[in-house]
């Protein structure tokens, strides 16, 4: 049983604060890696997850990226930190929590894309102007920030 499951046994569905990390991956063509998630059903988002005891946010970002996609990154660059009332979530099972999300990006990766079918339907690379419309709301905000502040538009190569 993990840290979050242990906490839930103690506090039930009461609101908690969790810290998590996500990583925007940019490939050599300037496309962004997105994960079509099982929860919320079919929504597209950024690979990431919640912190376990003793982890740094960078370790969370790298672990979750590897677990969900099979990809590894070296350099992580901070996009921003997201928190507050608009980051409240009530899960289908009734669990309530606020998430502090530390968002990173990496230009490049190692490994072969290997989708974790327990959490994801699929993972795909998208050009910034072709992102799916059905996105996790908070991840759309992160991607908008990334594209406006960090994305180098000259990276996109014509096919």
The domain spanning residue 107 has which CATH number?
3.90.79.10
Rounded Cα–Cα distance for residues 156 and 105 (Å): 16
Per-residue pLDDT at 157 = 47
* Domain-located, residue 2: no
* Domain-located, residue 44: yes
Q: What is the gyration radius of the CA atoms in the chain, in angstroms?
A: 16
Query: Mean pLDDT in runs of 10 for the chain (159 residues)?
Result: 90 96 96 93 95 97 97 97 96 94 96 94 96 96 96 56
Per-residue pLDDT at 158 = 39
> Closest by alpha carbon to 35, among 131, 141, 152?
131
Instruction: Name the residue range of residue 64's domain.
Output: 12-146
> Closest by alpha carbon to 50, among 118, 97, 93, 9?
97
Size (the chain), residues: 159
Query: How many domains does the chain fold into?
Result: 1
* Domain-located, residue 60: yes
Per-residue pLDDT at 40 = 82
């Amino acid at each position: 049983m993990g840290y979050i499951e242990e906490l839930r046994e103690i506090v039930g569905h009461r609101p908690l604060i969790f810290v998590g990390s996500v990583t925007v991956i940019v490939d050599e063509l300037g496309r962004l890696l997105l994960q079509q998630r099982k929860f919320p059903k079919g929504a597209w988002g950024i690979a990431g997850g919640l912190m376990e005891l003793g982890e740094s946010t960078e370790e969370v970002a790298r672990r979750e990226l590897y677990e969900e996609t099979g990809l590894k990154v070296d350099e992580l660059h901070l996009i921003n930190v997201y928190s507050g009332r608009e980051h409240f979530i009530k899960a289908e099972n009734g669990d309530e929590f606020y998430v502090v999300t530390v968002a990173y990006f990496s230009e490049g990766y190692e490994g072969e894309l290997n989708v974790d079918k327990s959490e994801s339907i699929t993972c795909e690379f998208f050009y910034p102007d072709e992102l799916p419309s059905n996105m996790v709301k908070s991840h759309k905000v992160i991607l908008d920030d990334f594209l406006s502040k960090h994305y180098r538009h000259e990276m996109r190569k014509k096919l």
